[in-house]
Structure 1
């Protein structure tokens, strides 16, 4: 893809409001890994499945592929700093410093996330520089609150329109 087309693609995609989540995994040595993503979606209701997209070179992806599991922590509107922290290139243990979390379904669950899903990887599909993981949901929970969204390179939330 030409550089001009890539820049145009970035601009077009910036205009799409997306939910923000942190995908997590747990290494064999119990080190938690996590990364902020906006590329996830519901895939199937029967059975319950989601898909997430992770860059092929990520350490998190290597951990998820080894364990066969990932957590999907869907963030609420008060979690923009948490999203920024997990979007950095910090060492895995640094990302979790000061973050309240626990292991559930074999993966890190961020306490206070708006919604949480524990998933087992069912399939992997290559997509350019990313790998799309199809996950069967094995555990889930949610609480009241507004979602954290990302639109035009800024965090925000959803508000209901009148009518």
Structure 2
């Protein structure tokens, strides 16, 4: 097969499928690290694992090394501004953000999230312009809030 789709065609088609919005976090080199990620999914129930896909050029990616404790906060519908804040290229993405710390290294989690997952990075895999990061889940929690959704390139409540 010699045909190929363009990035725009793929983004448009994949964008027709709604996804949640997460903030992936860790504590590394004495600072909190966090970024907005919409490529998040359950990977395995036994053992408990999830997967996130991070753009290779992300400055946060090296802080998510194999063996590192990380957190994933699934944002609630009232946290649209946080999705934007953690997607920006600013010095301190956590400025003004209410967090809760969990785990051995004090991983920051977004307060008021729909769900949260504390885990350890298990593996990295090549995935085109992204790195596929598998995470072994150690603990997780859930609220009754509605999730923030990403659909057709738009964040919606």
Match of 2:135 in 1: 135
Which aligned segments of 4 or more residues in structure 1 are displaced greater than 2 angstroms?
Answer: none
More helix by share: 1
Match of 1:55 in 2: 55
Q: Aligned ranges for residues 1-163 of structure 1 at < 5 Å?
A: 5-29=6-30, 31-65=31-65, 68-91=68-91, 93=92, 95-105=93-103, 106=105, 107-157=107-157
Report deviation, 1:110: 1.1
1:23/1:71 contact within 8 Å kept: yes
Q: 60-69 vs 76-85, which deviates more?
A: 60-69
Q: Residues of 1 paired with 2:47 and 2:66: CA distance?
A: 23
Unmatched 5+ residue regions in structure 1?
158-163
2:17/2:151 contact within 8 Å kept: yes
CA RMSD in angstroms comes to: 1.8
TM-score when normalising by structure 2: 0.90
Q: Residues of 2 paired with 1:80 and 1:17: CA distance?
A: 15
Q: Residues of 1 paired with 2:49 and 2:66: CA distance?
A: 20
Q: Residues of 1 paired with 2:154 and 2:56: CA distance?
A: 25
Q: Number of paired residues? A: 153
Q: Residues of 1 paired with 2:78 and 2:51: CA distance?
A: 24
Unmatched 5+ residue regions in structure 2?
none
